[in-house]
């Protein structure tokens, strides 16, 4: 028999139109069994019915973060909906696959201290505290759009590490479990049946419940958004830009930066830090002035088809002397960058001029420096590139593309070739 009031409270806390329900097979004397006993998207009433049917037969779970029906992968999750902290007794201390009563009580004490810490030090509103059967879990409702998953994971890891530094001990593990945005959680009110040989069948149950209010969600969300981590600068850049101003919609700035470490460094490091990372062949600093850094950024962004407005905005956000310059100076600098990229090979990245002058080396250079892409992902970009590059005086070389693609050695790979227009 399930504890129906606990099941209902938990589902009300999530408050989804449909839930991704799963029941995992229990281990057999420590050995995992493949497969699940049940898996479906269903409404609240169906979840309760399945809990009654499967209670005690396995680990009964739902996904913590909402996803549309049929979406079982991480990329189907668009918003972080729950912040969850797990305090679990370490496996090596468990006896016959369950924690001792003493360790179980200790986990509750640690969880209560963490709750107090999160509320006092950060201002989080904790909505649920759950006794999981072997430890404890704290849950707070939020609604944070996932713009860059790596940034979000780093924020939750930062929170996790701050908690661990204070509360870790020899008895419990502490984990911010929703840094795995695809995470499932045992449904409170059901038996935590992890192993067929476990010593005791304990219920997961709610021991603290605060009804979710809109102000709670906003406050918790704002706290997470306010966490600063090292790789967040460019994500903020993308968030604030009107994306229509980016010439090629397929190449968002954040996607470019993920592939181009140097561009990331140019936009986020000051000149002293850059000169520690980059030097000339004779050991002298690579960049003698902020103007040289600005020109390097302009050339990089121009190669990726960024608009003049995006370039100006990016350099202004970076700081340095750019924001103090006149609009005439800024416009002239961008024009110089366009002239530069039209006649030079910049940082070993192939430009249209290089292609025209050194056709015999173009294939090897592209393989080494531009991209080797999965066909399904690049073909749309190639089609869009026709219109994109016509704005810059380039045209798409379909004949060359087809001749390379038809070659046996390149059966499953697409390469992007461009040539100067008339």
- The pTM score is 0.57
The mean of the pLDDT values for the chain is 79
Contact 127, 10 (CB under 8 A): no
Contact 10, 128 (CB under 8 A): yes
Q: Judge if 191 and 176 occupy the same domain.
A: yes
Q: Judge if 392 and 263 occupy the same domain.
A: no
Domain that holds residue 378: 360-420
Q: Judge if 267 and 317 occupy the same domain.
A: yes
Please tell me the distance from the alpha carbon of residue 109 to that of residue 171, in angstroms, as a whole number.
12
pLDDT of residue 278: 86
| pLDDT greater than 60 at residue 401 | no
* Residue where a domain terminates, one of 193, 226, 259: 226
- Is the four-CA dihedral 291, 296, 301, 305 of positive or negative sign? positive
| pLDDT greater than 90 at residue 418 | no
Backbone angles phi, psi at 283, to 5 degrees: 90, -5
Q: Judge if 254 and 320 occupy the same domain.
A: yes
H runs (alpha helix) in 193-260: 214-226, 233-240, 253-259
Classify residue 354: in a domain, yes or no. no
Classify residue 350: in a domain, yes or no. no
Classify residue 247: in a domain, yes or no. yes
Q: What is the pLDDT of residues 198-241, one digit of tens each?
A: 999 999 999 999 999 999 999 999 999 888 665 444 444 444 43
Q: What is the pLDDT of residues 296-348, one digit of tens each?
A: 888 888 777 777 887 888 888 777 778 788 888 888 888 888 777 665 543 43
Q: Judge if 54 and 124 occupy the same domain.
A: yes
Identify which of 65, 60, 84 has the alpha carbon closest to the alpha carbon of residue 133.
60
Rg of the chain over Cα atoms, rounded to whole angstroms, equals: 27
Contact 337, 299 (CB under 8 A): yes
* Residue where a domain terminates, one of 202, 226, 250: 226
In terms of pLDDT, which residue wins out, 354 or 33? 33
In terms of pLDDT, which residue wins out, 245 or 338? 338
Strand (E) or helix (H) holding 53: helix 44-54
Interval 1-6 mean pLDDT? 96
Q: Using a pLDDT cut of 70, give the percent of the chain over it.
A: 73
Walk across the sheet containing 135-145 and list its strands: 172-176, 79-89, 135-145, 128-131, 205-209
Q: Judge if 99 and 212 occupy the same domain.
A: yes
Classify residue 330: in a domain, yes or no. yes
What b/e readout covers 283-292, taking b as 16+ CB neighbours within 10 angstroms? eeeebeebee
pLDDT of residue 21: 97
């Amino acid at each position: 028999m399930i504890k129906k009031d606990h099941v209902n409270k938990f589902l009300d806390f999530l408050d989804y139109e449909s839930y991704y329900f799963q029941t995992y097979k229990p281990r057999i004397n420590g050995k995992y069994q493949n497969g699940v006993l049940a898996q479906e998207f269903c409404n609240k009433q169906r979840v309760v019915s399945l809990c009654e049917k499967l209670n005690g037969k396995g680990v009964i779970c739902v996904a913590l973060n909402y996803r549309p029906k049929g979406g079982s992968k991480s990329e189907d999750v668009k918003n972080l909906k729950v912040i969850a902290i797990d305090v679990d007794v370490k496996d090596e201390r468990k006896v016959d696959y369950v924690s001792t009563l003493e360790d179980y009580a200790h986990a509750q004490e640690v969880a209560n201290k963490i709750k107090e810490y999160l509320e006092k030090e950060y201002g989080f509103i904790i909505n649920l505290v759950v006794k999981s059967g072997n430890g404890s879990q704290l849950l707070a409702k939020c609604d944070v759009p996932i713009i860059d998953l790596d940034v979000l994971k780093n924020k939750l890891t930062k929170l996790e590490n701050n908690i661990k530094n204070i509360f870790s001990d020899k008895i419990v593990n502490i984990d911010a479990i929703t840094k795995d945005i695809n995470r499932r959680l045992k449904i409170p009110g059901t038996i935590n049946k992890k192993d067929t040989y476990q010593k005791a069948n304990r219920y997961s149950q709610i021991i603290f419940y605060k009804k979710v209010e809109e102000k709670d969600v906003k406050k918790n969300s704002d706290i997470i958004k306010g966490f600063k981590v090292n790789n967040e600068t460019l994500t903020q850049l993308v968030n604030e830009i009107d994306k229509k101003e980016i010439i090629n919609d397929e190449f968002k700035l954040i996607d470019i930066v993920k592939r181009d470490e140097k561009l990331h460094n140019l936009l986020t490091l000051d000149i002293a830090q850059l000169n520690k990372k980059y030097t000339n062949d004779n050991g002298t600093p690579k960049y003698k002035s902020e103007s040289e850094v600005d020109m390097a950024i302009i050339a990089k962004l121009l190669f990726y088809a960024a608009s003049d407005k995006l370039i100006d905005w990016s350099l202004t956000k970076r700081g340095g002397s750019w924001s103090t310059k006149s609009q005439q100076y800024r416009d002239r600098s961008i024009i110089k960058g366009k002239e530069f990229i039209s006649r030079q090979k910049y940082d070993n990245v192939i430009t249209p001029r290089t292609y025209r002058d050194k056709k015999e080396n173009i294939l090897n250079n592209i393989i080494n420096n531009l991209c080797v892409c999965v066909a399904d992902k690049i073909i749309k970009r190639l089609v869009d590139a026709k219109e994109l590059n016509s704005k810059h005086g380039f045209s798409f070389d379909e004949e060359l593309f087809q001749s390379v693609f038809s070659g046996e050695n390149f059966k499953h790979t697409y390469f992007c070739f461009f040539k100067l227009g008339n």
